[in-house]
Amino acid sequence: MIVVGLTGSIGMGKSTTAAMFRDEGVPVYDADAAVHALYAPGGAAVEPLEAAFPGVTGPGGVDRAVLSHRVVGKPDELRRLEGIVHPLLGGDRAAFFAQAQDQDADIVVLDIPLLFETGGEKAMDAVVVVSAPEHVQRSRVLARESMDEAKLDAILARQMHDAEKRARAHFIVDTSQGLDHAREQVRDILAALRRDGPPKVAAPGEQPQ
């Protein structure tokens, strides 16, 4: 089973691209959705996080803004948070892989927004980066309710630059030319993986093939 990491910066169309892989019958693991489930009322992370960080939960489960305020800029607190959440996510991901194996899936996609930022690409057989020109990205994001230039710049400052992600990708899906073009790229990627297997790992400083 080939494990593909799918990533891309805000506004690039990653969620839409993930849906295209699903449409092709490929199981997709949504890391953000898994975290939301853990943080939702009754989620497995709610009680342990409240015990570790009193006041971060309420009727709506974990308040992510409050929790973020408690850990941002505090490495020890961040490690404590990760020590709680990462094992829970690991169990959820293991269940996903088990189900995919039961379905005899030959390829699975892990949709992970901060794949490169967390070093997660090392565990992937291939990495797909979803990308678009900067002006398209900014236009998409700024059209969202309650988003402005300052918020967007703050988000982008926490993410690896798109150019670097593209340079480290095995495959790129350009979403700036319409849905049909993006879907064609997804199909080409799946065909290449099934035909050639996982791409060769590039040596340090070299472009992946």
Q: What is the pLDDT of residues 55-93, one digit of tens each?
A: 999 999 999 889 988 887 888 998 899 899 989 988 888
Residue with tokens 């971060």: 56
Tens digit of pLDDT for each residue in 124-181? 999 999 999 999 999 999 999 888 898 898 888 888 999 999 999 999 999 999 999 9
At residue 157, the pLDDT reads 85
Mean local confidence (pLDDT), 33-53: 94
The structure's pTM equals 0.82
CATH T-level fold of 1-27+107-209: Rossmann fold (3.40.50)
Measure the CA–CA gap between 136 and 129, rounded to whole angstroms: 16
Token pair of 121 as six digits: 């690409």
Confirm if 56 and 70 have CB atoms less than 8 A apart: yes
Residues of the chain with CATH 3.40.50.300: 1-27+107-209
Kindly give the pairing relationship between strand 61-62 and strand 57-58: antiparallel
